[in-house]
Structures are given as structure tokens and as C-alpha cells.
Amino acid sequence: MQRVLITGATGLLGCTLAATLASRGWHVVRHGRRGGDLSGDLTDARDAKQTIEQAGAECIVNLAALTDVDRCEAHPREAYLQNTRIVENLVAAIRRTQRTPYLVQISTDQVYDGPGPHREEDVMLTNYYSFSKYAGEMAATGTPSTILRTNFFGASRVAGRASFSDWIVTALERGDAVRVFTDVWFNPLSIERLAAMIALVLERRVGGVFNLGSREGMTKADFCYVLAQTLGLATATMTRSESGAAALRAYRPKDMRMACDRFEAAFAVKLPTLRQEIESMRDCYHGRA
């Protein structure tokens, strides 16, 4: 039984990934700020080294990050510490161990902007969040690693934490007014599919930077309407608008669609369309719709 350390294991993706890997025979060691098998401040080099030594893992999946885009914009130092320094510390610790665990670094589709779909070399950084995540990618290349640029949606397993799809479903169930953006494009995966693909990466360990998303992306507005239709939710309170109408501190990319053929070729898989991924949500939200 191989051991894998998941940092940020108590977050949205971490909880699903831990369950997925355990079901596939991995011994999962979970690290979190609160809860988990191990805890500690990974922005501190000594804590990071101790965490890796205690885990004794063959692989590490780093999910520890500050993903609040507006907070990153307002607090760039915090963005650096959480999205870059942690990766620097993990890589430095990995290079000092005899085991040399393989690193999977989870990055973001927000490193892209402009007309998509984007290939891995088409980086365009437009806010502190994307800058700090890209700097984390650069740090991850200091050790054998796979870097995955991705986005996801799906039912949360974490109390008090909601995904994008959770937010839409809850708002429509309550009859809340919702504005959905017609000028923001993306191609995320369901959280379950993403966890399965990360498991595949851990098995095959093909190094490099890869886009990992669904095929045939859509606007966030279309995503919300397709999700509502799939779950049989009324859309009378949902309104289409452009993103400029929202009072956001940080700029958000308008087109984050990724070309994922490099991942498909490297790992011998065919990724689903975004519509197929949305339709897979029927069972996840069955009790709520």
C-alpha cells in the first residue's frame, strides 16, 4: 500500500480526493490547518520538512492554497505565502529527503485570459491570485512533479464551504435573485472526475504542466442554466448579465477555457464534455432538487 500526503486535505477538493484515493488502495495521510492526521504551518520551512518526514509518503498532492481572489488582491503577501512559499518549502523539503516523494501541484485556470481555448504556453496573468499560483508552479518544477491547471464544481463534503454549483443550486432552491455572467467562459470538471484524474496522475507520474478540464466549455451563465435544467430547478430568479456589473475588487479573466489534449494524450484518456459533467450532478444533488 503506497502512502500519499494530501496538503490542504480538509478543503473542498481535499475531502473528495482523500476518499477517492483511499477507495483505490492508497494509505492517505491528510494535512490541514485544522483537523487531519498532521497539522502545521507549511509557510514555515521547518514545519514543512517535519510534515514530509512524518508522512513518509511516496507522493504528495499539494492543495494548500489561498483561493479567495479578492483577498489575494488586497493582501498580496498572504497570497505569496499561501500559494508560492508553501510550494517552495515543500520542494526544498522533498529535495532533502532520501525518499524524494513525487509532487502533484494543483494550479488554476486563472493563469489564462483572452480568447480561448488556451494551450499550456498561453499564460496571461491578470491578478495577484494568478500571479502567486503561477509562481507556485515555477517552484514545483524544482522536483519531479506534475502541475495541473484546473477548475471544478460539485457537491461539497465540507461543512460551511460551498462550491460554485452549490451556490447556484441553493440560491435557486430559495428563490434568491442570481446574476449569471454571459462574458466569462470556463471548462471545469466535476470534483469527482478531477479526483479520479489526480489518482491517475499519481499512478502514471508523467511529469510536466497540463491543462485538466472538460471539453467544449461554456459561459458561466449557460453553465447555470444547464445545471438548473438538469436538476429541474426553476430559473425565474436568474438573470443574465456581464461581469462588469459586479463590484469585485480583483479583475477576473473573461475566458479561461483550456485545451486539454496534451493531458488526454499523456494519460491515455478522453475527457468528458462540460454538459456531460453537469448531467453527472443529478445523483449528487438528487436529495435537494
Range 168-177, long-range pairs (CB < 8 A, 24+ positions): 168/224, 168/227, 168/228, 169/227, 169/231, 169/233, 169/285, 169/288, 169/289, 171/237, 172/228, 172/233, 172/234, 172/235, 172/237, 172/238, 173/233, 173/288, 173/289, 175/234, 175/237, 176/237, 177/237, 177/239
Q: Residue 27 falls within a domain, yes or no?
A: yes
Domain of 102, in residue numbers? 3-161+189-214+257-272
Q: Residue 247 falls within a domain, yes or no?
A: no
Q: Residue 99 falls within a domain, yes or no?
A: yes
Q: Residue 226 falls within a domain, yes or no?
A: no
pTM of the shown model: 0.96
Q: Residue 237 falls within a domain, yes or no?
A: no
Distance, CA of 94 to CA of 90 (rounded, Å): 6
Per mean pLDDT, which range of 211-215, 253-257, 281-285 is the poorest?
281-285
- Total number of domains constituting the chain: 1
281 and 227 in contact (C-beta within 8 Å)?
A: yes
Per-residue pLDDT reduced to its tens digit, 122-157: 999 999 999 999 999 999 999 999 999 999 999 988
* Residue 289: predicted pLDDT: 42
Output the domain CATH number for residue 73.
Answer: 3.40.50.720
Q: Residue 199 falls within a domain, yes or no?
A: yes
Q: Residue 251 falls within a domain, yes or no?
A: no
pLDDT exceeds cutoff 50 at 72? yes
Per-residue pLDDT reduced to its tens digit, 218-260: 999 999 999 999 999 999 999 999 998 787 889 999 999 999 9
Q: Residue 229 falls within a domain, yes or no?
A: no
